[in-house]
Structures are given as structure tokens and as C-alpha cells.
Amino acid sequence: MSRNPRTGASARGPRHTEPRELAGLLSAAAGDAARIAAIAPALRGHWLRTVADALEEHAEELTALADTETALGPDRLRGEVGRAAAQARFYGEVAAEGGWLDVRIDRAGPGGPADLRRMNRPLGPVAVFGASNFPFAFGVAGHDTASALAAGCPVLVKAHPAHPLLSARLGTLVSDALRAAGAPAGAFALVTGFDAGLALVDAPEVAAVAFTGSQTAGTALVERAARRPVPVPVFAEMGTVNPAVLTPAAAATAAGVTRAATGFVDSFTLGQGQFCTKPGLLLAPRGSGAAEAAAGALAGVRPGWLLTEGIAAAYRQGLADLVAAGARPVARAEAADGAFAAAPTVLTAPADALRPGSRLLEECFGPVALVVEYDGTPHLRDLLGRLQPSLAAAVASGGPADPDLPWLVEHLARQAGRVVVDGWPTGVATGWAQHHGGPWPATSRPDATSVGAAALDRFTRPVAFQNVPEAALPEALRDGDPWNLPRRVDGVRTGGRS
């Protein structure tokens, strides 16, 4: 069933994938996996460009459909279509560049060890569970799908129940684009329905699972996959509370406090606070007036609607739970009219309330954040030590010479996947140097990223070939180097594009 967050109106969703149909899709994926893996990465880049073109060509239609199911607004959604298209092209470029294959060649020495060549190979079919909050960037044609295809893995995407009609439309567009680009039929499939999703996690054909969403759902998938006769990796990006710190130097002037508080509020209310990188906690020097400044900034925020009835209910319950755990509302914006409306809210709490196990240390999905005051560096350090590890952490500093920056950056790097200075974590650029991950329980695999060039690495496994004649070697490892790859030969990096 499809729901409109503004009105609550229901529309009939696509029918669920039947077990027999699913078996056919899995069989096609497994059957084409070796062929897809053996194709030159640059050709898979062509597939992804064709997908990107299709997204852009249908941007207006997709934006309208997504707005009906998510209420995220046409501007944001139109931008996200473009972002998803750019991502797909980027992963295609990364595939073609070939560094992710990590080719290493140790040549035979006279009387020494045999010729040894190592590369990363695609794992096989990947099951993708996209997110509710980014229907394009982390959806059917989002980061996981594009990076898995780039790495040479067939993809089976579970349609998200928060936007089932959009998922179905995207599924058709992606399938058609891949077919037009010459990809095998098994390269991509969309499956619909809760049971079909569970069946994907259990299927022997599936070699890895990628997930973006809540800790509850992510942990359930991790545990389910561990019970398989042959376990497979689950790359679950779940998210916790991303902390932000206002340093004393940044808080030295009222203008500094206002600037930081405004940035904080803009960031935590972006997309109605439905970002896994939402800064959920601001630690500010006692007496800095950060909470009041945030309250002031909140007045300018336009309220909106949450993605689903469930998220709206959890948000209301979450606010009540935060208050029960010791938080106090400082400011509350107007709520929008309509079914899944939410009122953006700033809370404060005494530092003592940040105790291990407290609800204050857990994520509350939606436009709410907490401001807590600290008394000097040792206190701040102590408070940071109480937090769960997170995807991101931010510092609002007094500038590059801020004396607290070095220790804060180092401290935060130990408990977050990304440390941001004088910026906010909600913008996650897709590039070579991105890392969108973090220590458990922010993700189930702290070594993995779901955004950026290294996203391909999740879906590979190394294999070494010892004394294998040229004709029997994979193309990536041949002396002739037909794919023009960067390689490490006898330990020395060489080749590839310059």
C-alpha cells in the first residue's frame, strides 16, 4: 500500500513477489553472475551511465511520484534524482579506473617463489535494502545498487514499503536501461514484499546484503544472515546520535554562537530530520546561550511531514521518551497540517542525564535535537566518552588555530566514521575520499562505506593465482593488461591512468 504523508490517503501498491517468481529472479542473477563479473569494468560503467541518463530523462515524473509518497518536496527530490544519476556515473568511473581490483603481481624469482597474482573478484548476487529517507540516493538505483553493479555483482533490490510505487517505477527504469545497455537479464531485479525480502537474506544465491535503515531492522538482518548455513556479510548502515561540539573559542562571541546554532538547526531539521547523519546532540560550553540561539533559529524552520505513519508515531513517542529521560523542550516550531506532520523541536538536558543506557544517547528519527552544556575540557571529554559511536561527528570551532581542535578531532575520530570541522554532517559528498560508515552500532561493518569509491570494496573477495599461465589468467591479471589497470608489481605501484 502507498500512503501520502500529507493527506494520509492510501493507494494500492504493487503486488508482492511470489516465491516462484523470486526463485526465477535469484536463478537468473546466479546464472549471469560469472558473465557480469568477467565483463570489462568500463563496460559496466556504460551500463551505469545508461541508468543515470534514464533517471535524468524521467526526473520530473520521478520527482512527482516520490513527492506523493514521501512529502520531501519537489526541490529536494529533483535534486536527489540528479544526485543519484551523478552517483551512478561516478561508480562507473571508479569501476573503469580499476584501483578497487587491487591488482598485485609478484613475479617469479630465479629459484625463488612462483609467479603470484592477486585481485579482488566480485562476490556474486547482492541483496539491497534501501532507505526510506533517500528514495533516490539510497533507493532502488542508489549507492548500494550502483556500487554493487560497478563491482560486477548482480543486484536484487527489495522495494521500500515507504515508497512502493516509486520503487516499482525505478525498478522498471533500471531494468529497461540495463537491457538497453546490453546487460544480462540477471544483472538487476526488484522484489516486493516483506516475505520476499526475508527470502532474499536466506537465499543461497545471495552472496552479500547491503542495508540502510534503523538499528532494529539492521540488527535483525545481521542476525538472520548469521543463521544461514553459509553466512554472508551484511553491510548495515544504521546510525546513532551524531554529536556536534561547540568549542569555547567558537562560543567566545554571540555571533559565533548564533552562527553555530543556526547551522545546527538547519542541519538537524533538513529533510525533517530524517537523515542518518543528523546532528542529534550539541555539546556547548555552559552559559554560551547555544540552546536559546537554537530556539531562535528554529523559528525560521518550515515544518513538514514525516515519511510514514510509523515514523510519525515513533517520533511522537521518541519526544515523550526523551522528556521522560530528563530532557526539557526549549522550543518547538509549528507543525504542518496533515497526516504525518511533525513539529521540529529543540531540547536541553543536564549533562548528568547522559548516562549509559539513557534514551538521550539513542537516535530519535525526525526533526529533534538536544543541547547539553559542559563545564570545561575534562567534562567535555567525559561526556564524549559516554556516547555511542556514530557515523559522523562535528566541531564548530573558533578557526584553524582553535586550541581544542587537535584533541577533539583525534578523540572524535576514535568514535566516528567522519569528523567534520566548521560544517555539518548532513551533506555526504560522493567522491574518492568519502567514508560513510562508523564503529558498531553505527554500522555492522566498521571497515565498510556505503558512499564513495570504496563502496565497491564491500562486494569483492581477493583470490591469488599462483603460476597460472597467461591464457588461463583473468584479464585483469594478464601481462598485456588489457584493462589498463593500476597494479602493484613486485611491491611497486605502477600502470593505470595518470
Examine residue 113 and tell whether it contacts its own copies (CB under 8 A): yes
Using CB atoms within 10 A of its CB, is residue 356 exposed (0-12), middle (13-18) or buried (19+)? exposed
* Nearest-approach distance from CB 160 to its own copies, in angstroms: 27
User: What is the rounded CA–CA span in Å between residue 192 and residue 451?
Assistant: 25
Contact 106, 115 (CB under 8 A): yes
Catalytic residue from among 69, 80, 205, 276: 276
Least distance from C-beta 6 to its own copies, angstroms? 32
Task: Find the binder of its own copies among 27, 381, 462, 484 (CB under 8 A).
Answer: 462
- Cβ closest to its own copies, residue 67 vs residue 106: 106
Query: Out of 49, 121, 224, 478, which residue is the one contacting its own copies (CB under 8 A)?
Result: 121
> Does 2 sit near its own copies (CB under 8 A)?
no
Among 56, 314, 465, 478, binds its own copies (CB under 8 A): 465
Report, in Å, the least distance between residue 98 CB and its own copies.
Answer: 11
Q: Is 464 in the site for its own copies (CB under 8 A)?
A: yes
Catalytic residue among 205, 237, 363, 373: 237
106 binds its own copies (CB under 8 A): yes
Q: Which of residues 211-230 bind its own copies (CB under 8 A)?
A: 226, 230
Restricted to residues 299-338, the positions that interact with its own copies (CB under 8 A) are none
* 143 near its own copies, rule: CB under 8 A: no
Say whether residue 471 binds its own copies (CB under 8 A): yes
Report the b/e string of 87-113 with b at 16+ CB within 10 A. bbbbbbbbbbbbbbbbbbbbeeeeeee
Q: Which residues 418-447 are close enough to bind its own copies by CB under 8 A?
A: 418-423, 427, 429, 431-435, 437, 439-441, 446-447
Q: Select the residue interacting with its own copies from 453, 455, 456, 476 (CB under 8 A).
A: 453
Interface with its own copies, residue 416, by CB under 8 A: yes
Asked if 413 touches its own copies (CB under 8 A), the answer is: yes
Report which residue type is found at 417. G
Query: Is residue 276 annotated as part of the catalytic site, yes or no?
Result: yes
Question: Which among 58-66, 137-145, 345-353, 448-456 is the span making contact with its own copies, rule CB under 8 A?
Answer: 448-456
Residues of this chain, 51-70, that bind its own copies according to CB under 8 A: none
What's the CA angle centered on 443, arms 343 and 391, to 5 degrees? Answer: 55
By CB under 8 A, what part of segment 384-403 binds its own copies?
400-401
**237 in active site:** yes
- The residue count for binding its own copies (CB under 8 A) is 75
**Which is closer to its own copies, CB of 229 or CB of 287?**
229
Smallest distance from the beta carbon of 396 to its own copies, in angstroms? 11
Task: Verify binding: residue 470, its own copies, rule CB under 8 A.
Answer: yes
Which position among 15, 355, 381, 461 is part of the footprint of its own copies (CB under 8 A)? 461
**Cα dihedral sign for 263, 304, 367, 446?**
negative
Position among 74, 182, 231, 310 found at the interface with its own copies (CB under 8 A) = 231
Q: Select 255 or 492, whichever has its Cβ closest to its own copies.
A: 492
So which residues are the catalytic ones?
237, 276
